[in-house]
Amino acid sequence: MEIYKFGGASVKDAAGIRNLAQIVENTNQEPLVVVVSAMGKTTNQLEKIHSAYDAGSQDNALLELQQLERYHFDVLNQLIEGDDQAAAHSKLNAIFQELKTYLTSLIDTHFDKTYDKIVSYGEVLSTTIVSLYLNHIKCSNTLLDMRQLLITDNQYRDANINYDESARRIKASVSNCTTPIIIVQGFIGGTIDNQPTTLGREGSDYTAAMLANILDAKRVTIWKDVPGVLNADPKLFDNTVHIPEMTYSEAVELAFSGAQIIHPKTIRPLENKGIALFVKPFTDPQNAGTVIKRQIAKPINVPVYIVRKNQVLLTIRPKDFSFVLESTLPKLFTIIEQNKLKVSLIQSSAITISVSVDNSRNLFAAIEQLQKDYQVSYNDGLTLLTVRGTTPQIIKEVEQDKEILLKQTTRRTIKLLYR
């Protein structure tokens, strides 16, 4: 058993899906579970549709949906011609119809819940197209619906997986499959009473890791549009270096610092069972890529640069000048947890705590709550740069020309929060 995961970029067009099919066909591992994200920027578009729905504007929601409909049918038409096309059309049509019916019903006002209901269609659509295309080229496969199999709690948009129930259902469905290839959606799940949920943006990697854990897979491969893990994002830095192997702990640190390459929750389910994670370029399947595992032959010997954008620095002071760190921290973190803020950095002095968080919808609600007991000021539009394996020379270089609001250094790592 192996798990493959294809992200949105790798299935963004007909060429991408043909490439996926080729990779899948050339794999002689059986069975193979293929986790697929929504195509291209579909999730962003669905978020727009949800915003319109939430604002009570059905017309705008349906208008935005048209664009998505055209895009998916266009890809489908390029992939499937001839006798199979009509049947494929009616499959896809049924899904769009279902979504349209929901969008015009306007019965639900719970923001996070309706988000999951609407946004989960991205993966339903992409996996349907992938499965139909594989059938069309006689690559026999089974399409499963993770909304019924990956069971979560009802913390919509950031749902927690119910491991035992999911394991029971997933093992049963997979062992019932008679085809060598199984197609599933990343990122989405469902509650025990059948409400769709999502695992947080970019959560498909996490789905792949959980499936690997549940099914005791030999390994997981994430197919990406980069040659593997690099020491920096090539979109932001020149002269990037490929990292052939790294440990689970290094991978967690990178993901936590904001490296876009892997979702932070991905590593634990793999580490727990010692399942290796491969990150490979989907345009060059023979390339070794990067392997993440427990023990590696050579430690990383290049500095690694990680950029986390859209940060907000909160500076928190008690109103009465009193400051007991031990009693403030639990309060602070309860509020952070309740508002699902993602913390990237913490620093404290005698009378202030500085916390940098990802900018998010709930930020102002959290600030308001904090303001009951604390004076809170904030700076937004910041970037957090982390350099692991840093040197005095690098520190000098990265500090140049930056308005630095906060700096943290340890022996090997520097973190700069700057504007």
* Residue ranges that bind ligand ASP, judged by CB under 6 A: 7-8, 37-38, 43, 122, 186-187, 201-204
Which residue of 4, 7, 61, 265 would you call a contact of Mg ion, by CB under 5 A? 7
How deeply is 411 buried, as exposed, middle or buried, from its count of CB atoms within 10 A (0-12, 13-18, 19+)? exposed
Instruction: In angstroms, give the least distance from the CB of 201 to ligand ASP.
Output: 4
Instruction: Rounding to the nearest 10 degrees, give the CA dihedral for residues 259, 261, 263, 266.
Output: -120
Binding at 206: pick from ligand ASP, Mg ion, none (beta carbon under 5-8 Å per type): none
Looking at residues 190 to 209 of the shown chain, list those that interact with Mg ion (rule: CB under 5 A): none
Residue closer to ligand ASP (CB basis): 38 or 49: 38
Size, binding site for Mg ion by CB under 5 A: 3
CA 295 centroid distance within chain: 25
Cβ atoms of 257 and 229 within 8 Å: the answer is no
Which residue of 2, 4, 6, 8 would you call a contact of Mg ion, by CB under 5 A? 8
Residue closer to ligand ASP (CB basis): 89 or 201: 201
Helical (H) or strand (E) element with 35: strand 32-36
SS3 labels along 183-251 = EEECCEEEECCCCEEECCCCCHHHHHHHHHHHHCCCEEEEEECCCCCECCCCCCCCCCCECCEEEHHHH
Interaction between residue 186 and Mg ion (CB under 5 A): no
Per DSSP, the three-state class of 374 is strand
Binding at 189: pick from Mg ion, ligand ASP, none (beta carbon under 5-8 Å per type): none
Instruction: In angstroms, give the least distance from the CB of 5 to ligand ASP.
Output: 8
Interaction between residue 37 and Mg ion (CB under 5 A): yes
Angle, CA of 31, 36 and 37, to the nearest 5°: 165
Phi-psi region of 201 (alpha: psi -120 to 50; beta: other; left: phi over 0): beta
Instruction: In angstroms, give the least distance from the CB of 207 to ligand ASP.
Output: 8
Residue closer to Mg ion (CB basis): 7 or 31: 7
Cβ atoms of 316 and 376 within 8 Å: the answer is yes
Instruction: In angstroms, give the least distance from the CB of 202 to ligand ASP.
Output: 4
- From the CB of residue 130, how many other CB atoms can be counted at a distance below 10 Å? 24
Residue closer to Mg ion (CB basis): 47 or 153: 47
Instruction: In angstroms, give the least distance from the CB of 37 to Mg ion.
Output: 5
Cβ atoms of 207 and 184 within 8 Å: the answer is yes
Instruction: In angstroms, give the least distance from the CB of 187 to ligand ASP.
Output: 4
Residue nearest to ligand ASP (CB): 204
Using the contact rule CB under 5 A, the part of the chain among 31-39, 298-306, 311-319, 329-337 near Mg ion is 31-39
Cβ atoms of 73 and 89 within 8 Å: the answer is yes
Binding site for Mg ion (CB under 5 A): 7-8, 37
